[in-house]
Structure 1
């Protein structure tokens, strides 16, 4: 991943992006649910159920690419982590980048990131602004039946997918820095909390929007797999498992 100086990253994350419509946690959850429901209906080439159901965490975000005065991008999203057979409360995140070759005019793109290791989950649940380390740089994830031949293997800490017009495709994502959207979290949960505490369940009251998100995630976890296999882990620092 391209290096982004901390001062520049902080400025980019604080900068307004006029085209960005999604900001509140309710809107983030609604958009995430819409993307996940379309994933649940997807046929053919899409994120393999095996990979989704074994992921330790999930990031859904949407990026606005702009090139008005300074080429750059910014976006909103949320992160959740898997807790056994359940999912955590969502924590809001922001993303920003600069100098990665975007053309003027602006456009948007939705992304789904599957976090395959505990280290990757920690990377996306830090407080403040941060850049992704080399160990958790996004890698284009497998699609469709790419896991059906031989032994299914997860070999990257983070699998990245783009979502366009109902279709999911593996894509390499670089040049981004991330930050916790603390104000968004506070407005939603009614108290100032670290992302790790939100994902750790230290929330006093469960909003209805979160219950709707959990329902969609749990339904996806029940979907039948293509191969019927549990992908083995071939990622540094991860334990290998297989059926």
Structure 2
């Protein structure tokens, strides 16, 4: 009887530890959504340096990789996590969790934290997003995005670029070359947030309701990325 009671105590303690770990992971994902919302709010609060209106209205998907603490990016081995949403006939989709890896785009250990924003500008970019994983500059053509609410893109992004990319560091928001990086789904975080495996395509095409914790982020994207009537 004593042995049974001991095993019961061990089991309950283990269950409590697992539950606490799950709660902590969920809190981190909620925080990432909040940070992504804040990145967009702060960028769009400066019209002369924000994403141009023309791009906002034509965007098919939006990816935000919020800042990490110093040392999170290493030259030749960058790694960042973020969230993405795509435009659907009923509005912007529930978010998916993504990770950006590879490339050598200039960040260094001990350097300033950096925010990244990627915008899919056409159907080609949308289709790449639905594939779960693709290489920027390889599978999907990309260009450094222009800034300024009324700025005109100085490239042929309308014809060729499937993604426009930006970075923000030390308050400076500017286009960036992310060629060589790989955007991939983060299946562990998807399970942690949704409680089960959710296919990227199902979520990004509007097949999954937006959880309450994600609504502020999705509403913020909808606020700024308004389609031209």
TM-score above 0.5, yes or no:
yes
Structure number with the higher strand fraction is 1
- Secondary structure of residue in 2 paired with 1:94: strand
What's 2:74 paired with?
66
What's 1:114 paired with?
119
Compare CA radii of gyration and give the structure with the larger one: 2
The correspondence of residues 61-210 of structure 1 with structure 2, limited to 5 A, is: 61-62=65-66, 64-66=72-74, 71-84=76-89, 86-97=91-102, 103-105=108-110, 107-127=112-132, 129-132=133-136, 134=138, 136-144=140-148, 145-147=150-152, 154-155=158-159, 156-203=161-208, 206-210=210-214
CA distance in 2, matches of 1:107, 1:182: 28
Task: Give unpaired runs (5+ residues) of structure 2.
Answer: 1-25
CA distance in 1, matches of 2:191, 2:152: 40
Task: Give unpaired runs (5+ residues) of structure 1.
Answer: 1-21, 224-229, 231-242
Conserved? CA contact 2:135–2:181, under 8 Å: yes
* Residues 1:40 and 2:48 are matched in the alignment: no
1:100 Cα deviation from its structure 2 partner: 6.0
Query: Residues 174 and 220 (structure 1 numbering): CA distance in 2 closer, same or farther, change over 3 Å?
Result: same
CA distance in 2, matches of 1:168, 1:181: 26
- Secondary structure of residue in 2 paired with 1:136: coil
1:50 Cα deviation from its structure 2 partner: 1.8
Structure number with the higher helix fraction is 2
Conserved? CA contact 1:117–1:157, under 8 Å: yes
Alignment RMSD: 3.2
Conserved? CA contact 1:24–1:184, under 8 Å: no
